[in-house]
Structure 1
Amino acid sequence: MSITLNGAVACVTGGGRGIGEATARLLAERGAIVIIGDIDLDAAQAVAKTLSGAKAVKLDVADPESFENFLTEARKMGPIDLLVNNAGIMRTGEFVKLDLAALHREMAINTGGVINGMRLVLPEMLARSYGHIVNVSSMAGKMTCSGASVYTASKFAVAGLSRSVRAEIAGSGVTITTVMPSAVETELTAGMNIRGIPKAKPSEIADEVVASCRHGHPEVTMPKWLFPVGTIEQALPEKLGNWIKRAVGAQERIAPDNEQTRKYQERVSRS
Protein backbone atom coordinates (compact mmCIF):
# COMPACT_ATOMS: atom_id res chain seq x y z
CA MET A 1 0.00 0.00 0.00
CA SER A 2 1.43 3.38 -0.98
CA ILE A 3 1.01 6.69 0.82
CA THR A 4 0.46 10.08 -0.77
CA LEU A 5 3.21 12.57 0.05
CA ASN A 6 1.44 15.75 -1.00
CA GLY A 7 0.04 17.11 2.28
CA ALA A 8 1.39 14.18 4.30
CA VAL A 9 2.76 14.73 7.80
CA ALA A 10 6.29 13.32 7.62
CA CYS A 11 8.65 12.98 10.58
CA VAL A 12 12.40 12.66 9.97
CA THR A 13 14.85 11.90 12.78
CA GLY A 14 18.45 13.03 12.49
CA GLY A 15 17.22 15.58 9.97
CA GLY A 16 19.79 18.26 10.69
CA ARG A 17 22.44 16.90 8.33
CA GLY A 18 23.39 14.12 5.94
CA ILE A 19 20.78 11.60 4.83
CA GLY A 20 18.15 13.10 7.13
CA GLU A 21 18.57 16.59 5.71
CA ALA A 22 18.46 15.32 2.12
CA THR A 23 15.33 13.31 2.92
CA ALA A 24 13.59 16.25 4.58
CA ARG A 25 14.32 18.44 1.56
CA LEU A 26 13.01 15.91 -0.93
CA LEU A 27 9.86 15.24 1.10
CA ALA A 28 9.18 18.98 1.23
CA GLU A 29 9.64 19.19 -2.53
CA ARG A 30 6.98 16.49 -2.87
CA GLY A 31 4.56 18.56 -0.83
CA ALA A 32 4.91 16.90 2.56
CA ILE A 33 4.67 18.78 5.86
CA VAL A 34 8.05 17.89 7.35
CA ILE A 35 8.88 17.76 11.05
CA ILE A 36 12.64 17.59 11.52
CA GLY A 37 13.95 16.04 14.72
CA ASP A 38 17.58 16.27 15.77
CA ILE A 39 19.53 16.39 19.02
CA ASP A 40 21.28 19.40 17.47
CA LEU A 41 18.34 21.80 17.39
CA ASP A 42 20.36 24.54 15.68
CA ALA A 43 21.11 22.23 12.75
CA ALA A 44 17.47 21.15 12.51
CA GLN A 45 16.26 24.75 12.59
CA ALA A 46 18.75 25.77 9.90
CA VAL A 47 17.25 23.13 7.59
CA ALA A 48 13.63 23.88 8.53
CA LYS A 49 14.06 27.59 7.80
CA THR A 50 14.80 26.80 4.17
CA LEU A 51 11.72 24.60 3.68
CA SER A 52 8.13 25.72 3.34
CA GLY A 53 5.97 24.63 6.26
CA ALA A 54 8.73 22.60 7.93
CA LYS A 55 9.18 22.53 11.70
CA ALA A 56 12.25 21.70 13.80
CA VAL A 57 12.03 19.93 17.17
CA LYS A 58 14.85 18.95 19.51
CA LEU A 59 14.92 15.16 19.68
CA ASP A 60 16.96 12.59 21.55
CA VAL A 61 15.73 9.39 19.89
CA ALA A 62 17.09 7.27 22.75
CA ASP A 63 14.71 8.99 25.20
CA PRO A 64 11.07 7.80 24.84
CA GLU A 65 9.76 11.01 26.43
CA SER A 66 11.71 13.17 23.99
CA PHE A 67 10.46 11.04 21.10
CA GLU A 68 6.86 11.31 22.27
CA ASN A 69 7.21 15.09 22.49
CA PHE A 70 8.56 15.13 18.92
CA LEU A 71 5.56 13.15 17.68
CA THR A 72 3.16 15.32 19.68
CA GLU A 73 4.49 18.39 17.89
CA ALA A 74 4.03 16.59 14.58
CA ARG A 75 0.44 15.62 15.40
CA LYS A 76 -0.42 19.31 15.65
CA MET A 77 -0.06 19.30 11.86
CA GLY A 78 -2.34 16.28 11.45
CA PRO A 79 -2.14 12.49 11.69
CA ILE A 80 1.37 11.15 11.13
CA ASP A 81 1.63 9.48 7.73
CA LEU A 82 5.36 8.82 7.54
CA LEU A 83 8.17 8.26 10.04
CA VAL A 84 11.76 8.07 8.84
CA ASN A 85 13.96 6.59 11.56
CA ASN A 86 17.28 7.91 10.31
CA ALA A 87 19.20 9.16 13.37
CA GLY A 88 22.35 7.19 14.05
CA ILE A 89 26.01 7.39 15.03
CA MET A 90 29.05 5.17 14.50
CA ARG A 91 31.86 4.54 16.96
CA THR A 92 34.98 3.20 15.30
CA GLY A 93 38.03 1.50 16.73
CA GLU A 94 38.92 -1.71 18.52
CA PHE A 95 35.98 -2.96 20.60
CA VAL A 96 38.12 -3.58 23.70
CA LYS A 97 39.49 -0.03 23.62
CA LEU A 98 36.21 1.84 23.23
CA ASP A 99 34.42 3.39 26.20
CA LEU A 100 31.68 1.08 27.50
CA ALA A 101 29.17 3.86 28.21
CA ALA A 102 29.72 5.23 24.70
CA LEU A 103 28.98 1.82 23.19
CA HIS A 104 25.72 1.53 25.14
CA ARG A 105 24.80 5.03 23.98
CA GLU A 106 25.46 3.99 20.38
CA MET A 107 23.05 1.06 20.74
CA ALA A 108 20.50 3.30 22.47
CA ILE A 109 20.51 5.74 19.55
CA ASN A 110 20.84 3.37 16.60
CA THR A 111 18.56 0.58 17.82
CA GLY A 112 16.69 2.08 20.77
CA GLY A 113 15.68 5.07 18.67
CA VAL A 114 14.06 2.81 16.08
CA ILE A 115 12.29 0.83 18.81
CA ASN A 116 10.97 4.05 20.35
CA GLY A 117 9.83 5.53 17.06
CA MET A 118 8.02 2.45 15.80
CA ARG A 119 6.40 1.63 19.12
CA LEU A 120 5.13 5.19 19.60
CA VAL A 121 3.76 5.78 16.09
CA LEU A 122 2.49 2.36 15.04
CA PRO A 123 -0.69 2.27 17.16
CA GLU A 124 -2.15 5.33 15.46
CA MET A 125 -1.08 4.14 12.00
CA LEU A 126 -2.65 0.73 12.60
CA ALA A 127 -5.85 2.37 13.85
CA ARG A 128 -6.06 4.27 10.54
CA SER A 129 -4.86 1.28 8.45
CA TYR A 130 -2.56 3.81 6.80
CA GLY A 131 1.05 4.84 7.16
CA HIS A 132 4.62 4.06 6.27
CA ILE A 133 7.81 3.73 8.31
CA VAL A 134 11.33 3.81 6.88
CA ASN A 135 14.13 2.46 9.06
CA VAL A 136 17.55 3.50 7.81
CA SER A 137 19.87 0.60 8.53
CA SER A 138 23.06 -0.12 6.58
CA MET A 139 24.77 -2.84 4.59
CA ALA A 140 26.43 -3.33 7.98
CA GLY A 141 23.05 -4.85 8.84
CA LYS A 142 23.81 -7.68 6.39
CA MET A 143 27.56 -8.16 6.81
CA THR A 144 29.88 -7.68 9.78
CA CYS A 145 32.32 -4.78 9.80
CA SER A 146 35.57 -5.05 11.76
CA GLY A 147 36.37 -1.76 13.46
CA ALA A 148 32.71 -0.84 13.94
CA SER A 149 31.44 -3.81 15.95
CA VAL A 150 28.63 -2.18 17.92
CA TYR A 151 27.50 -0.16 14.91
CA THR A 152 27.27 -3.46 13.03
CA ALA A 153 25.30 -5.04 15.88
CA SER A 154 22.91 -2.08 16.00
CA LYS A 155 22.22 -2.23 12.27
CA PHE A 156 21.67 -6.00 12.32
CA ALA A 157 19.20 -5.33 15.14
CA VAL A 158 17.35 -2.69 13.10
CA ALA A 159 17.07 -5.08 10.15
CA GLY A 160 15.83 -7.92 12.35
CA LEU A 161 13.40 -5.73 14.26
CA SER A 162 11.96 -4.34 11.05
CA ARG A 163 11.47 -7.80 9.58
CA SER A 164 9.80 -9.12 12.75
CA VAL A 165 7.39 -6.20 13.08
CA ARG A 166 6.56 -6.41 9.36
CA ALA A 167 5.43 -9.98 9.94
CA GLU A 168 3.22 -8.88 12.85
CA ILE A 169 1.45 -6.12 10.92
CA ALA A 170 1.20 -7.83 7.51
CA GLY A 171 -2.07 -6.93 5.81
CA SER A 172 -2.74 -3.98 8.10
CA GLY A 173 -2.32 -1.29 5.45
CA VAL A 174 0.84 -0.05 7.21
CA THR A 175 4.22 -0.74 5.63
CA ILE A 176 7.83 -0.77 6.87
CA THR A 177 10.83 -0.46 4.58
CA THR A 178 14.41 -1.03 5.73
CA VAL A 179 16.90 0.99 3.66
CA MET A 180 20.43 -0.44 3.67
CA PRO A 181 23.04 1.82 2.09
CA SER A 182 26.66 0.96 1.56
CA ALA A 183 29.08 3.85 2.21
CA VAL A 184 27.38 7.25 2.05
CA GLU A 185 29.30 10.49 1.52
CA THR A 186 28.52 12.09 4.89
CA GLU A 187 30.42 13.20 7.97
CA LEU A 188 30.15 9.63 9.28
CA THR A 189 32.44 8.25 6.54
CA ALA A 190 34.69 11.33 6.23
CA GLY A 191 38.33 10.36 6.65
CA MET A 192 37.74 6.66 6.00
CA ASN A 193 39.52 4.86 3.20
CA ILE A 194 36.45 3.73 1.27
CA ARG A 195 38.19 3.45 -2.09
CA GLY A 196 36.64 0.58 -4.03
CA ILE A 197 33.55 0.46 -1.81
CA PRO A 198 30.24 1.35 -3.52
CA LYS A 199 29.39 4.92 -2.50
CA ALA A 200 26.21 6.98 -2.64
CA LYS A 201 25.29 10.60 -2.03
CA PRO A 202 22.73 11.47 0.70
CA SER A 203 20.37 12.63 -2.06
CA GLU A 204 20.43 9.15 -3.60
CA ILE A 205 19.42 7.57 -0.28
CA ALA A 206 16.68 10.20 0.04
CA ASP A 207 15.42 9.14 -3.41
CA GLU A 208 15.09 5.56 -2.14
CA VAL A 209 13.32 6.65 1.05
CA VAL A 210 10.77 8.64 -0.95
CA ALA A 211 10.36 5.87 -3.55
CA SER A 212 9.56 3.41 -0.76
CA CYS A 213 6.47 5.47 0.09
CA ARG A 214 5.12 4.32 -3.27
CA HIS A 215 6.32 0.71 -3.51
CA GLY A 216 6.60 -0.27 0.18
CA HIS A 217 9.23 -2.93 -0.49
CA PRO A 218 10.49 -4.65 2.70
CA GLU A 219 14.22 -4.07 2.14
CA VAL A 220 16.15 -1.82 -0.22
CA THR A 221 19.93 -2.09 -0.55
CA MET A 222 22.06 0.66 -2.07
CA PRO A 223 23.29 -0.19 -4.60
CA LYS A 224 20.67 -2.83 -5.32
CA TRP A 225 23.16 -5.44 -6.56
CA LEU A 226 24.52 -5.75 -3.00
CA PHE A 227 21.32 -7.46 -1.82
CA PRO A 228 22.85 -10.99 -1.67
CA VAL A 229 25.99 -9.92 0.23
CA GLY A 230 24.64 -11.00 3.61
CA THR A 231 23.73 -14.43 2.30
CA ILE A 232 27.20 -14.82 0.78
CA GLU A 233 28.91 -13.90 4.08
CA GLN A 234 26.73 -16.33 6.01
CA ALA A 235 27.61 -19.08 3.51
CA LEU A 236 31.35 -18.51 3.88
CA PRO A 237 33.27 -20.24 6.68
CA GLU A 238 33.97 -17.56 9.29
CA LYS A 239 37.73 -18.11 9.15
CA LEU A 240 37.71 -17.52 5.40
CA GLY A 241 35.56 -14.40 5.76
CA ASN A 242 37.89 -13.01 8.42
CA TRP A 243 40.93 -13.77 6.24
CA ILE A 244 39.40 -11.84 3.35
CA LYS A 245 38.63 -8.86 5.61
CA ARG A 246 42.19 -8.84 6.93
CA ALA A 247 43.58 -9.14 3.41
CA VAL A 248 41.73 -6.01 2.27
CA GLY A 249 42.56 -4.14 5.49
CA ALA A 250 38.88 -3.74 6.44
CA GLN A 251 39.43 -2.65 10.03
CA GLU A 252 42.16 -0.14 9.18
CA ARG A 253 40.01 1.33 6.41
CA ILE A 254 36.92 1.71 8.59
CA ALA A 255 38.66 2.90 11.75
CA PRO A 256 41.56 5.18 10.77
CA ASP A 257 42.77 7.87 13.15
CA ASN A 258 42.97 11.21 11.37
CA GLU A 259 41.70 14.76 11.74
CA GLN A 260 38.39 14.09 9.99
CA THR A 261 37.56 10.93 11.93
CA ARG A 262 38.53 12.56 15.24
CA LYS A 263 36.28 15.52 14.46
CA TYR A 264 33.31 13.20 13.83
CA GLN A 265 34.01 11.10 16.92
CA GLU A 266 34.21 14.25 19.05
CA ARG A 267 30.83 15.39 17.76
CA VAL A 268 29.08 12.08 18.36
CA SER A 269 30.51 11.95 21.87
CA ARG A 270 28.17 14.85 22.60
CA SER A 271 25.13 13.06 21.13
Structure 2
Amino acid sequence: MTTQTIATSDRIEKAQPGWVKLLDMSDRALAVLLLTPAAVLLTLIIVYPVLRLGYTSFFSLSLTSGLPAEFVGFENYQLMFTDPVFWETTWNTVLITLITVPGALIVGMALALLANLPFGVQWPVRLSLLIPWALPLSFAGLIFAWFFHSEYGVVNDVLARFGIEGVIWFNSPNLAFAAICLTIIWKTSSFMALIILAGLQTIPRSLYEAADVDGAGRIRQFFEITLPLLKPAIVVALIFRTITALQTFDIPYMMTGGGPGTSTSTLAMYIHQNTVSFLDLGYGSALAVVMFALSMCVTAVYLRIIRTKE
Protein backbone atom coordinates (compact mmCIF):
# COMPACT_ATOMS: atom_id res chain seq x y z
CA MET A 1 0.00 0.00 0.00
CA THR A 2 2.83 2.35 0.86
CA THR A 3 4.61 1.62 -2.42
CA GLN A 4 1.46 2.41 -4.39
CA THR A 5 1.03 5.70 -2.51
CA ILE A 6 4.59 6.75 -3.31
CA ALA A 7 4.20 5.81 -6.95
CA THR A 8 0.94 7.77 -7.17
CA SER A 9 2.54 10.88 -5.66
CA ASP A 10 5.46 10.61 -8.08
CA ARG A 11 3.06 10.47 -11.02
CA ILE A 12 1.14 13.51 -9.73
CA GLU A 13 4.40 15.45 -9.26
CA LYS A 14 5.53 14.59 -12.79
CA ALA A 15 2.14 15.64 -14.16
CA GLN A 16 2.37 19.12 -12.59
CA PRO A 17 3.19 22.02 -14.95
CA GLY A 18 6.60 23.67 -14.73
CA TRP A 19 5.29 26.95 -13.27
CA VAL A 20 3.66 25.03 -10.41
CA LYS A 21 7.00 23.38 -9.56
CA LEU A 22 8.63 26.83 -9.64
CA LEU A 23 6.16 28.17 -7.08
CA ASP A 24 6.57 25.11 -4.86
CA MET A 25 9.98 26.06 -3.46
CA SER A 26 11.65 25.69 -0.09
CA ASP A 27 11.68 28.40 2.58
CA ARG A 28 15.33 29.12 1.85
CA ALA A 29 14.74 29.60 -1.86
CA LEU A 30 11.68 31.75 -1.20
CA ALA A 31 13.66 33.94 1.20
CA VAL A 32 16.41 34.41 -1.40
CA LEU A 33 13.85 35.26 -4.07
CA LEU A 34 12.12 37.87 -1.90
CA LEU A 35 15.36 39.47 -0.67
CA THR A 36 17.01 39.68 -4.08
CA PRO A 37 15.25 42.94 -5.19
CA ALA A 38 16.21 44.65 -1.92
CA ALA A 39 19.79 43.41 -2.23
CA VAL A 40 20.03 44.67 -5.81
CA LEU A 41 18.60 48.07 -4.80
CA LEU A 42 21.02 48.44 -1.88
CA THR A 43 23.89 47.47 -4.16
CA LEU A 44 22.95 50.15 -6.66
CA ILE A 45 22.38 53.01 -4.20
CA ILE A 46 24.90 52.17 -1.43
CA VAL A 47 27.51 49.55 -2.29
CA TYR A 48 28.36 50.75 -5.79
CA PRO A 49 28.70 54.46 -4.83
CA VAL A 50 30.94 53.55 -1.88
CA LEU A 51 33.14 51.33 -4.07
CA ARG A 52 33.25 54.02 -6.74
CA LEU A 53 34.19 56.59 -4.11
CA GLY A 54 37.06 54.43 -2.89
CA TYR A 55 38.19 53.85 -6.47
CA THR A 56 38.22 57.58 -7.26
CA SER A 57 40.24 58.32 -4.13
CA PHE A 58 43.25 56.59 -5.69
CA PHE A 59 43.33 59.02 -8.62
CA SER A 60 44.44 62.59 -9.14
CA LEU A 61 41.27 64.00 -10.66
CA SER A 62 40.89 67.77 -10.75
CA LEU A 63 38.29 69.11 -13.16
CA THR A 64 39.89 72.56 -13.18
CA SER A 65 43.25 71.30 -14.44
CA GLY A 66 41.89 69.87 -17.68
CA LEU A 67 44.17 66.85 -17.28
CA PRO A 68 42.90 63.26 -17.48
CA ALA A 69 42.61 61.19 -14.32
CA GLU A 70 45.94 59.75 -13.20
CA PHE A 71 46.38 56.83 -10.81
CA VAL A 72 48.42 58.03 -7.81
CA GLY A 73 47.79 55.23 -5.30
CA PHE A 74 47.74 56.41 -1.69
CA GLU A 75 49.08 59.87 -2.50
CA ASN A 76 45.78 61.57 -1.61
CA TYR A 77 45.76 59.83 1.77
CA GLN A 78 49.39 60.77 2.39
CA LEU A 79 48.49 64.38 1.63
CA MET A 80 46.03 64.35 4.52
CA PHE A 81 48.78 63.80 7.08
CA THR A 82 50.45 67.06 6.02
CA ASP A 83 47.19 68.99 5.58
CA PRO A 84 46.54 71.15 8.68
CA VAL A 85 43.00 71.98 7.54
CA PHE A 86 42.13 68.29 7.45
CA TRP A 87 43.25 67.82 11.04
CA GLU A 88 41.48 70.96 12.20
CA THR A 89 38.18 70.08 10.53
CA THR A 90 38.40 66.50 11.78
CA TRP A 91 39.00 67.70 15.32
CA ASN A 92 36.09 70.14 15.02
CA THR A 93 33.87 67.28 13.85
CA VAL A 94 34.92 65.02 16.72
CA LEU A 95 34.49 67.84 19.22
CA ILE A 96 30.99 68.62 17.93
CA THR A 97 30.14 64.94 18.26
CA LEU A 98 31.49 64.71 21.83
CA ILE A 99 29.55 67.81 22.91
CA THR A 100 26.26 67.57 21.05
CA VAL A 101 25.53 63.83 21.30
CA PRO A 102 25.56 63.68 25.14
CA GLY A 103 23.89 67.10 25.27
CA ALA A 104 21.09 66.00 22.95
CA LEU A 105 20.70 62.77 24.93
CA ILE A 106 20.30 64.60 28.27
CA VAL A 107 17.88 67.18 26.87
CA GLY A 108 16.01 64.53 24.89
CA MET A 109 15.66 62.33 27.94
CA ALA A 110 14.18 65.20 29.93
CA LEU A 111 11.76 66.09 27.13
CA ALA A 112 10.69 62.46 26.73
CA LEU A 113 10.02 62.08 30.46
CA LEU A 114 8.03 65.32 30.39
CA ALA A 115 5.99 64.17 27.38
CA ASN A 116 5.32 60.84 29.10
CA LEU A 117 3.74 62.43 32.18
CA PRO A 118 -0.01 61.80 32.60
CA PHE A 119 -1.19 65.18 31.34
CA GLY A 120 -4.88 65.69 30.68
CA VAL A 121 -4.00 66.85 27.15
CA GLN A 122 -0.70 65.38 25.95
CA TRP A 123 -0.78 66.31 22.28
CA PRO A 124 0.58 69.90 22.66
CA VAL A 125 3.64 68.58 24.53
CA ARG A 126 4.29 65.84 22.01
CA LEU A 127 3.64 68.17 19.09
CA SER A 128 6.32 70.50 20.44
CA LEU A 129 8.81 67.64 20.04
CA LEU A 130 8.00 67.29 16.35
CA ILE A 131 8.58 70.92 15.41
CA PRO A 132 12.39 71.05 15.89
CA TRP A 133 12.76 67.58 14.35
CA ALA A 134 10.69 68.50 11.27
CA LEU A 135 12.47 71.82 10.74
CA PRO A 136 15.12 71.55 7.97
CA LEU A 137 18.69 71.82 9.18
CA SER A 138 19.47 74.79 6.95
CA PHE A 139 16.45 76.68 8.29
CA ALA A 140 17.53 75.96 11.86
CA GLY A 141 20.98 77.34 11.04
CA LEU A 142 19.51 80.53 9.56
CA ILE A 143 17.15 81.02 12.49
CA PHE A 144 19.88 80.68 15.10
CA ALA A 145 22.26 82.81 13.04
CA TRP A 146 19.67 85.56 13.50
CA PHE A 147 19.30 84.71 17.20
CA PHE A 148 23.03 85.20 17.76
CA HIS A 149 23.41 88.24 15.50
CA SER A 150 25.51 90.90 17.21
CA GLU A 151 23.25 93.87 16.36
CA TYR A 152 19.64 92.71 16.26
CA GLY A 153 19.85 89.18 17.60
CA VAL A 154 17.53 87.87 20.31
CA VAL A 155 20.36 86.60 22.52
CA ASN A 156 22.13 89.95 22.79
CA ASP A 157 18.78 91.68 23.33
CA VAL A 158 18.05 89.40 26.29
CA LEU A 159 21.54 90.00 27.69
CA ALA A 160 21.05 93.77 27.37
CA ARG A 161 17.81 93.60 29.35
CA PHE A 162 19.79 92.03 32.20
CA GLY A 163 22.45 94.73 32.00
CA ILE A 164 25.00 92.51 30.25
CA GLU A 165 26.84 93.91 27.28
CA GLY A 166 26.23 91.98 24.06
CA VAL A 167 29.04 90.18 22.28
CA ILE A 168 29.91 89.59 18.65
CA TRP A 169 29.33 85.84 18.65
CA PHE A 170 30.68 84.95 15.24
CA ASN A 171 33.94 86.91 15.54
CA SER A 172 35.23 84.65 18.30
CA PRO A 173 36.10 81.02 17.45
CA ASN A 174 35.04 79.77 20.89
CA LEU A 175 31.76 81.71 21.00
CA ALA A 176 30.89 80.75 17.42
CA PHE A 177 31.61 77.10 18.20
CA ALA A 178 29.45 77.28 21.33
CA ALA A 179 26.58 78.85 19.37
CA ILE A 180 26.78 76.05 16.79
CA CYS A 181 26.76 73.35 19.47
CA LEU A 182 23.75 74.91 21.21
CA THR A 183 21.88 75.03 17.91
CA ILE A 184 22.67 71.40 17.12
CA ILE A 185 21.57 70.28 20.59
CA TRP A 186 18.28 72.16 20.23
CA LYS A 187 17.68 70.69 16.78
CA THR A 188 18.60 67.07 17.54
CA SER A 189 17.30 66.66 21.10
CA SER A 190 13.75 66.28 19.77
CA PHE A 191 14.87 63.31 17.66
CA MET A 192 16.37 61.67 20.74
CA ALA A 193 13.21 62.49 22.70
CA LEU A 194 10.94 60.81 20.15
CA ILE A 195 12.93 57.57 20.20
CA ILE A 196 13.17 57.56 24.00
CA LEU A 197 9.46 58.36 24.29
CA ALA A 198 8.69 55.33 22.14
CA GLY A 199 10.80 53.25 24.53
CA LEU A 200 8.98 54.68 27.54
CA GLN A 201 5.65 53.60 26.05
CA THR A 202 6.77 49.95 26.12
CA ILE A 203 7.54 49.86 29.87
CA PRO A 204 4.63 48.23 31.74
CA ARG A 205 2.97 50.41 34.35
CA SER A 206 2.73 47.37 36.65
CA LEU A 207 6.48 47.64 37.33
CA TYR A 208 6.07 51.15 38.73
CA GLU A 209 3.02 50.10 40.74
CA ALA A 210 4.99 47.24 42.28
CA ALA A 211 7.86 49.63 43.04
CA ASP A 212 5.43 52.00 44.77
CA VAL A 213 4.20 49.14 46.92
CA ASP A 214 7.80 48.29 47.86
CA GLY A 215 8.41 51.92 48.86
CA ALA A 216 10.80 52.86 46.02
CA GLY A 217 10.96 56.59 45.28
CA ARG A 218 10.84 58.26 41.89
CA ILE A 219 14.61 58.57 41.59
CA ARG A 220 15.19 54.92 42.44
CA GLN A 221 12.46 53.87 40.01
CA PHE A 222 14.19 55.85 37.28
CA PHE A 223 17.57 54.17 37.84
CA GLU A 224 16.23 50.69 38.62
CA ILE A 225 13.35 50.43 36.13
CA THR A 226 13.25 53.22 33.54
CA LEU A 227 16.92 53.52 32.62
CA PRO A 228 17.69 49.77 32.29
CA LEU A 229 14.61 49.15 30.13
CA LEU A 230 15.41 52.20 27.99
CA LYS A 231 18.94 51.06 27.10
CA PRO A 232 17.97 49.52 23.71
CA ALA A 233 16.16 52.70 22.66
CA ILE A 234 19.02 54.88 23.94
CA VAL A 235 21.63 52.88 22.01
CA VAL A 236 19.62 53.13 18.78
CA ALA A 237 19.25 56.89 19.28
CA LEU A 238 22.97 57.24 19.99
CA ILE A 239 23.92 55.32 16.85
CA PHE A 240 21.83 57.53 14.55
CA ARG A 241 22.75 60.75 16.35
CA THR A 242 26.49 60.00 16.37
CA ILE A 243 26.56 59.17 12.67
CA THR A 244 24.72 62.37 11.78
CA ALA A 245 26.99 64.35 14.13
CA LEU A 246 30.06 63.06 12.29
CA GLN A 247 28.46 64.29 9.06
CA THR A 248 27.55 67.75 10.41
CA PHE A 249 27.35 70.25 7.58
CA ASP A 250 24.16 72.33 7.30
CA ILE A 251 24.04 74.21 10.61
CA PRO A 252 27.67 75.44 10.78
CA TYR A 253 27.60 76.16 7.05
CA MET A 254 24.53 78.39 7.39
CA MET A 255 25.58 80.02 10.67
CA THR A 256 29.26 80.80 10.17
CA GLY A 257 30.34 79.36 6.83
CA GLY A 258 33.17 77.70 8.74
CA GLY A 259 34.55 80.95 10.11
CA PRO A 260 36.20 82.77 11.57
CA GLY A 261 38.87 81.23 9.38
CA THR A 262 38.34 77.48 9.57
CA SER A 263 37.69 77.37 13.32
CA THR A 264 34.13 76.05 12.91
CA SER A 265 34.59 74.08 9.69
CA THR A 266 33.73 70.38 9.80
CA LEU A 267 35.04 67.48 7.78
CA ALA A 268 31.85 67.42 5.68
CA MET A 269 32.32 71.11 4.90
CA TYR A 270 35.93 70.49 3.87
CA ILE A 271 34.79 67.66 1.59
CA HIS A 272 32.23 70.01 0.05
CA GLN A 273 34.87 72.68 -0.44
CA ASN A 274 37.25 70.33 -2.25
CA THR A 275 34.69 68.58 -4.43
CA VAL A 276 32.19 71.36 -5.22
CA SER A 277 34.23 74.58 -4.91
CA PHE A 278 37.69 73.38 -5.97
CA LEU A 279 36.45 70.45 -8.15
CA ASP A 280 39.25 68.25 -6.79
CA LEU A 281 37.38 64.96 -6.92
CA GLY A 282 40.38 62.79 -6.07
CA TYR A 283 41.29 64.43 -2.78
CA GLY A 284 37.63 65.06 -1.93
CA SER A 285 36.86 61.36 -2.42
CA ALA A 286 39.73 60.41 -0.13
CA LEU A 287 38.34 62.73 2.55
CA ALA A 288 34.89 61.19 2.11
CA VAL A 289 36.35 57.70 2.52
CA VAL A 290 37.89 58.75 5.82
CA MET A 291 34.55 60.13 7.05
CA PHE A 292 32.78 56.94 5.94
CA ALA A 293 35.35 54.79 7.75
CA LEU A 294 34.99 56.92 10.88
CA SER A 295 31.20 56.47 10.81
CA MET A 296 31.53 52.70 10.37
CA CYS A 297 33.98 52.46 13.28
CA VAL A 298 31.62 54.32 15.60
CA THR A 299 28.72 52.11 14.51
CA ALA A 300 30.81 48.98 15.10
CA VAL A 301 31.65 50.14 18.62
CA TYR A 302 27.97 50.68 19.45
CA LEU A 303 27.00 47.29 18.01
CA ARG A 304 29.83 45.68 19.96
CA ILE A 305 28.47 47.22 23.16
CA ILE A 306 24.98 45.90 22.39
CA ARG A 307 26.27 42.39 21.67
CA THR A 308 28.40 42.35 24.83
CA LYS A 309 25.45 43.33 27.02
CA GLU A 310 23.27 40.66 25.45
TM-score (norm 2): 0.21
TM-score (norm 1): 0.23
- Higher strand content, 1 or 2: 1
- Higher helix content, 1 or 2: 2
More relative contact order in 1 or in 2 (CA 8 Å, sep 6+)?
2
Radius of gyration: which is bigger? 2
